[in-house]
């Protein structure tokens, strides 16, 4: 498995120098990819009626494409990944343009992870209907690839219209699109349109069932499995060397191709502290894999 890192979005802060040190530090440790979460807005926890979402307005999220553009400029090799961008609440042609630019300037290091989201407040503020977001996402992925691959074209979909137009410049290499989520309809879409899957679950029976379904669906569609990726994640918080090694082994047995380590939501620390946590995890996993070789 390729080893990577989850950005500690709510703890990395806003100091450009610290963020540069973090990005260069994880690359120096040998991290092969950096995952960045995405939310545009957070709700006020004290709003009328209260708020029961997974995060609120006090939780910081860096805008992923802008953030990864900065990281691209201060690193050399690490893969840059959105995990996951809430695609249906964004304008498709603009995402295509921004993603193409990031792919060009990073020398083809960008991977686009997409999701549909759950927060109606974001959709409302961004002027996009919450309903039919899954169907919108499917059409968006189709249109994104046409915008990246074709000079000019026309497109008449249920949600998008392009009349003899295209983006310029376009990337020299296709941008991989991986899907996040676990609903059956999402998994079917992922198998049909995706280059990989980004589960938000443990290495359990539900994950095994989802992977089996993805594999069966791609086989039925005549699509290869060997090039399809699975992005797992591990958590520093509440873990131990034994638990991390066991967790990694379970995901490897399920066929995961990537593992990213999240260092936030534990005791407060600084950039050096996050890097030390990563160093310890990488050492444990490398010793594990070396012993199994």
265-279 pLDDT per residue, tens: 999 999 999 999 999
96-148 pLDDT per residue, tens: 999 999 999 999 999 999 999 999 999 999 999 999 999 999 999 999 999 99
53-108 pLDDT per residue, tens: 889 999 999 999 999 999 999 999 999 999 999 999 999 999 999 999 999 999 99
Q: Tell me how crowded residue 223 is: count the other CB atoms within 10 A of its CB.
A: 14
The pTM of the whole model exceeds 0.85: yes
How far is residue 29's CA from residue 16's CA, in Å, rounded to a whole number? 20
Contact 58, 29 (CB under 8 A): no
Q: Between 16-28 and 64-74, two packed helices, what is the crossing angle to 10 degrees?
A: 60
pLDDT given for residue 293 in this prediction: 57
Contact 191, 238 (CB under 8 A): no
Measure CA of the first residue to CA of the last residue in the chain; give whole Å. Answer: 13
pLDDT at 291 over 90: no
φ/ψ of 6, rounded to 5, equals -100, 125
pLDDT given for residue 51 in this prediction: 87
In DSSP notation, the chain reads -EEEEE--TTTS-S-HHHHHHHHHHHHHTT--EEEE---S----TTSTT---SS--TTS----HHHHHHHHHHH-SS-EEEEEEEEGGGS-HHHHHHHHHHHHHHTTS-EEEEEE----HHHHHHTT--STTHHHHHHHHHHHHHHHHH-SSEEEE-SS-EEEEE--SS--SSPPPEEEE---HHHHHHHHHH-SEEE--S-SSHHHHHHHHHHHHHHHHTT--STT-EEEEEEESTT--HHHHHHHHHHHHHHT--EEEEE--SSS---HHHHHHHHHHHHHHHHHHHHHH-
The confidence band for 290, taking pLDDT boundaries of 50, 70 and 90, is: confident
Closest CA to 83 of 67, 101, 107: 67
Query: Which domains does the chain show, CATH number per domain?
Result: 2-292 (3.20.20.30)
The confidence band for 292, taking pLDDT boundaries of 50, 70 and 90, is: low
């Amino acid at each position: 498995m390729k080893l990577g890192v989850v950005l500690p979005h709510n703890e990395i802060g806003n100091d450009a120098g610290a963020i540069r040190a973090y990005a260069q530090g994880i690359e120096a440790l040998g991290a092969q990819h950096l995952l960045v979460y995405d939310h545009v807005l957070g709700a006020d926890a004290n709003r009328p009626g209260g708020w029961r979402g997974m995060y609120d307005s006090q939780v910081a999220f860096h805008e992923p494409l802008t953030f990864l553009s900065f990281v691209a400029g201060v690193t050399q090799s690490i893969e840059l990944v959105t995990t996951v961008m809430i695609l249906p609440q964004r304008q498709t042609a603009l995402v295509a343009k921004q993603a193409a630019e990031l792919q060009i300037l990073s020398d083809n290091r960008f991977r686009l992870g997409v999701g549909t989201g759950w927060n109606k407040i974001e959709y409302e503020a961004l002027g996009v209907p919450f309903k039919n977001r899954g169907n919108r996402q499917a059409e968006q992925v189709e249109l994104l690839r046409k915008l990246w691959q074709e000079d000019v074209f026309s497109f008449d979909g249920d949600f998008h219209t392009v009349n003899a137009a295209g983006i310029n410049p376009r990337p020299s290499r296709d941008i991989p699109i991986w899907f996040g989520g676990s609903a059956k309809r999402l998994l079917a879409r992922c198998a049909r349109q995706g280059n990989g899957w980004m589960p938000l679950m443990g290495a359990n029976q539900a994950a095994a069932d989802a992977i089996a379904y993805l594999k069966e669906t791609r086989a039925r569609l005549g699509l290869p499995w060997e090039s399809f990726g699975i992005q797992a994640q591990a958590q520093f918080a509440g873990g131990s060397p034994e638990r991390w090694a066991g967790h990694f082994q379970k995901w490897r047995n399920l066929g995961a191709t990537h593992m990213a380590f999240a260092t936030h939501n534990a005791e407060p620390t600084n950039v050096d502290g996050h890097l030390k946590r990563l160093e310890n995890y990488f050492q444990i996993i490398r010793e594990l894999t070396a012993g199994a070789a």
